[in-house]
Structure 1
Amino acid sequence: MTQLNDLDVEDVAAAVSAGREVREHGPYKIQVGDESLEYQSLVIADPVPTGLQVLELAGLRPVAEYLLFQMYANGHLELLSPSETTDLRQAGIEKFLAFKNDRSFRFFIDERSQDWGAQRISGHALKQLAGVDPSKYEVYLVIPGEDDELVEDRDLFDLARPGVEHFAAVEINIKVFVNTLPTYVHARYLSYWEVVHLAHPEAVPGPNAHFTVTYAKGFEGNSLTNLVDGQLVHIKKGMHFNVTPTDKS
């Protein structure tokens, strides 16, 4: 097997990312991941491997106990049976996902159908499949006629529920008050300097730049709390921040 540091290895994902054609001859570097979307890098010589070849290369045996999906650049998954072939030179095929399971589950994310090879899926994986920034978006199970259900990053949602689930990735949009002015933030956690920039966008960290930051009505309660450089604050709707420059002279 050709080593990954061999200059002759064609990195399929890098080629797709750069928008260039994957070369006609191998060896090729591919990525094979699991249900946590954690990947291992592998090298394969055949430009048109079977699902069996990919599973065996990843050391997943017995092959009959696994489902293999090929992942396209847009995040869509397509089942690849052991006897089927896939052309690594085809634009858009970047990675593979393997699941130790005997059936797949279908759901919709942002109105796009998706098949998944495990009974459970994390909120973080749903965000990755939706192609959104996990720190700036949340995923909800859409429940017609009721409040949608938040799926946290670490939640493992059971896809074996009756019916086909519909999920939506929604940008975080929380109303807070900064120096009494209403402001919308798009993250569940903000650093000291991110809060400072809500009031003073031009502020630059440095020895002469110092601000006193306090907040109230957060998850800690209504009492006034200090936020200092190096800390994060958990954002809650309706929080009040006070950001004032401090004279260090």
Structure 2
Amino acid sequence: MQSDTQHNQAARLQGQAIEVLDEHFNRRSARIDDDRVTGRQIAEAAGFNSSDEVIVLQQLPGGALEELRPEELVNLNQPGVERFFVIEGDATYRFFLDGLKLEWPRARVNAKTLLRLARKDDEFEVVQQLEDAPDKVLDDDDVVDLSQEGTEHFKTRKGSKLVKVLYNEQPFELTKGTYTTEQLIAIFNVEPGYLLDLWVDGRLVELKPGQELKLKAGMHFTSHPPRGQSS
């Protein structure tokens, strides 16, 4: 019969399991023989060489994300210490998300990435907290530059499934998502034969047949007759 000591030694030989993610949140499992490991060992377990410039980020049990230096030790026996990001890079950028301090090795980050770092699903939205302006709700593909002066603060909250847009001056509340030009023409009940336009930076941009458009709050649409036809 195997003693407790023998059992523990056998378990240790199998190694400690960790979860390694890249910047796209692709994940894989790895095993490390030691209980106390360095950032360099975790990078090597992720498939990088010691000469590669990589950033190792440790996800703490409370959700914060901080850099683990190459020679810095972490105890894998502590509960919740098994999730790491290993990403090529040579610098990190600090920000706060839901009150937690996080670091990320990319200067530009979009709202979708922030949601995933917060482990929130699509029912939530990200709000950028601004000092000299009203807080800004970010769409999934909105990008924030973390390298600017000051530290960015974000929070997540349950988001609305609807987005408000304007056609001429009439408001419409539509389900978030991507629509074709033809779908929007039908929803707005555009005059038959008229072409649909979107206001972009103070100018009108005509939407092409079959074009797909992801709706964002505040979009302003209008329409015009074909050339040669008066309204």
Partner SS, residue 82 of structure 2? strand
Equivalent in the alignment of 2:28: 40
- Of all paired residues, the percent bearing the same amino acid is 29
Deviation at 1:166, TM superposition (A): 0.9
TM-score norm. by structure 2 comes to 0.62
Deviations 1:163-188 (A, max 9, x none): 11111212113679xxxxxxxx9x83
Please state which structure has a larger fraction of its residues in strand: 2
Equivalent in the alignment of 1:65: 53
> What is the rounded CA distance, in whole Å, between the counterparts of 1:219 and 1:77 in structure 2?
45
Q: How does 1:47-196 map to 2 (within 5 A)?
A: 47-63=35-51, 65-133=53-121, 135-173=122-160, 188=176
Deviation at 1:220, TM superposition (A): 5.5
Equivalent in the alignment of 1:222: 188
Q: Which ranges in structure 2 are unaligned for 5 or more consecutive residues? A: 1-6, 164-172, 178-183, 191-214, 219-231
Partner SS, residue 68 of structure 1? strand
TM-score norm. by structure 1 comes to 0.58
Deviation at 1:132, TM superposition (A): 2.2
Among 18, 23, 29, the alignment partner of 2:17 is 29
- What is the aligned length? 172
Question: How well do the aligned residues superpose, as a CA RMSD in angstroms?
Answer: 3.4
Partner SS, residue 58 of structure 2? strand
Deviation at 1:136, TM superposition (A): 0.7
* Larger Rg belongs to: 2
CA change 1:219–1:48 in 2 (3 A) is farther
Asked if structure 1 preserves the Cα contact closer than 8 Å seen for 2:97 and 2:118, the reply is yes
Q: Which ranges in structure 1 are unaligned for 5 or more consecutive residues? A: 1-7, 9-22, 177-184, 190-217, 225-233, 238-249
